[in-house]
Structure 1
């Protein structure tokens, strides 16, 4: 039987008197595209921040690829294969698209391999997201949608086992969203994808399974058809999302 890639047990995070994530039990299998949905303030970004180590839990445990990672700092989790792209673009505006991605590649080369290896890794990631022809463009001069794709390339360059994307289609045009859906399906051949997304058509198209948060708790999980017909989800989120 296949072992889960990621598990959380009783994962909680308090900020003062507010419990942002409340006893989350979560299992993610290798090769899955999993979407996390829920209303604003439901705890989605806090939850993935706990997984990638940007913040540490108040209680509970996180396991990744058979290892206990609950207390590991973020950079060690990157080395284990967890890559995270932010809700707000975090590219280095003054560096070229290529240099942004090359910085990520260098983090994976622990044996001081050649500049050729860096170039090969960076160009492969840029090609995957369709930005190879803009490799020399300063990131700050790229259109917003291309900056989002550059972030995905920076994540891919880390050769992750798990790629976490937070609101990746925010600000993308319809045409760009279509390309993004195709890209994620391509990425999922080599990596597991965990995506926070408000665009429900994208979620329903892409996700194998969906996890729904509300007020810090996981209130439902299932495939798109199950989530679409779940009355608790409709009350907490889908109704609010459409009205």
Structure 2
């Protein structure tokens, strides 16, 4: 089986700082992959490169066999890459329904089918547990629910790759359990790339874990391998953020 996503020598410099440093990375279809590491390790910069929000300084990005390094973010969305932000980016004045509708419209060929539009929106909201809040202004949602709204907006795009940046931030314990179930459900039809600081979530969900430190891949492997890796213990799991 060929990789869905690959990066080769991917790097990003900000002035004199190299935030991502020659990262080779491979993600298989249907996989749930977690990226972990200390603060400042380059995690969000790496997924921002994958999604086209920033341009690489060097290296290539290949999605489903095609070089997408130069493609803008909106073209990558059309290819099936959906991304939820580390900081919520919902439209606070619009209703929860209308936020998701903006995403659903991208998947409708003519953009005019109201029945299909409504069905697509409500399906996404039901999956994240927000259907009963559909007509609230998005800005009135609790922070954790705004994160779930972003997930619904991503799901509405019918993605092949779902990139989630700190999705459980602001969620309560019961909501985290629901998110874990949701992520497994998403993985039945899409590949999931997850940045997450909650190690319980990471260890429960991830098939494989990639550990970044100072913009480089420090270690990669199954949860059991990562849990017992001495270098990872020193840099992150046992040593702090």
Q: How many residues align?
A: 241
1:12-23 equivalences in 2 (<5 Å): 12-23=11-22
Aligned to 1:203: 202
Displacement of 1:240: 2.4
User: What's the secondary structure of 2:135's corresponding residue?
Assistant: coil
Displacement of 1:183: 0.8
Deviations along 1:90-119, one digit per CA (max 9) or x if unpaired, are 111111110000000111223334111111
User: What's the secondary structure of 2:170's corresponding residue?
Assistant: coil
Aligned to 2:34: 35
1:94-173 equivalences in 2 (<5 Å): 94-173=93-172
Q: After the TM superposition, which parts of structure 1 deviate over 4 Å for at least 4 consecutive aligned residues? A: none
User: What's the secondary structure of 2:103's corresponding residue?
Assistant: helix
Q: What's the Cα RMSD here?
A: 1.0
Aligned to 1:225: 224
Aligned to 1:191: 190
User: What's the secondary structure of 1:10's corresponding residue?
Assistant: strand
CA distance in 2, matches of 1:37, 1:126: 28
Deviations along 1:42-67, one digit per CA (max 9) or x if unpaired, are 00000000000000100000000121
Aligned to 1:93: 92
1:77 and 2:96 aligned:
no
Displacement of 1:7: 0.2
CA distance in 1, matches of 2:65, 2:98: 33
User: Could you state the TM-score of these two structures normalised by the residue count of structure 2?
Assistant: 0.98
CA distance in 2, matches of 1:107, 1:236: 42
User: What's the secondary structure of 2:78's corresponding residue?
Assistant: helix
Deviations along 1:145-181, one digit per CA (max 9) or x if unpaired, are 2111111000000110000000111111111111111
User: What's the secondary structure of 2:62's corresponding residue?
Assistant: strand
Displacement of 1:9: 0.3
CA distance in 2, matches of 1:122, 1:171: 23
User: What's the secondary structure of 1:240's corresponding residue?
Assistant: coil
Gaps of 5+ in 2: none
User: Could you state the TM-score of these two structures normalised by the residue count of structure 1?
Assistant: 0.97
